[in-house]
């Protein structure tokens, strides 16, 4: 069924193989910059994605700690636990931000050196 749906445009418009070859798929690939990244760029993107996810998790932990603090009902033990969690998440977020800065600097230098 899927094959038939894929062939409908060719049957309806009567494209031939030579006309399809003239679409210059290589030009489309080059315009989209598909497959043109170097190894340091790919590693940099992966590191950026991982650190971004870690920062998102740290922010969620900060929000959870704030929610725990707000719903503690004045209990000193719950407030202390929420403050500890929030402080730990803040330290983690700061470490992630510095790790991102260092990784970005190193990857940028590697891209320049290998280019």
Per-residue model confidence (pLDDT) at position 59: 96
Specify the pTM.
0.65
Q: At residue 35, does pLDDT exceed 90?
A: no
Query: What does the alpha-carbon distance between residue 24 and residue 30 come to, in Å, rounded to a whole number?
Result: 10
For 46-71, what is each residue's pLDDT tens digit? Answer: 999 999 999 999 999 999 999 999 99
Structural domain range at position 75: 2-114
Query: What does the alpha-carbon distance between residue 111 and residue 104 come to, in Å, rounded to a whole number?
Result: 11
Domain count, the chain: 1
Neighbouring C-beta atoms of residue 77, cutoff 10 Å: 8
Q: At residue 26, does pLDDT exceed 50?
A: yes
Neighbouring C-beta atoms of residue 107, cutoff 10 Å: 19
- DSSP 8-state assignment for residue 23: T
Per-residue model confidence (pLDDT) at position 98: 96
Query: What does the alpha-carbon distance between residue 95 and residue 90 come to, in Å, rounded to a whole number?
Result: 9
**What b-and-e string marks burial along 26-61, b requiring 16 or more CB atoms within 10 Å of the CB?**
eeeeeeeeeeeeeebbebbeebeeebeebbeebeeb
More confident residue, 42 or 88: 88
């Amino acid at each position: 069924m899927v094959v038939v749906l894929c062939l409908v445009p060719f049957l309806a418009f009567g494209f031939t193989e030579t006309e399809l070859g003239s679409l210059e798929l290589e030009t489309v690939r080059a315009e989209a910059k598909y497959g043109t990244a170097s190894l340091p760029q790919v590693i940099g993107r992966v590191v950026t994605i991982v650190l971004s996810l870690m920062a998102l998790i740290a922010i969620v932990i900060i929000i959870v700690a704030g929610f725990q603090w707000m719903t503690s009902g004045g209990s000193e033990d719950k407030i202390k636990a929420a403050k500890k969690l929030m402080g730990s998440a803040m330290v983690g977020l700061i470490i992630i931000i510095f790790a991102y800065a260092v990784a970005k600097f190193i990857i940028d230098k590697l891209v320049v050196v290998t280019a």
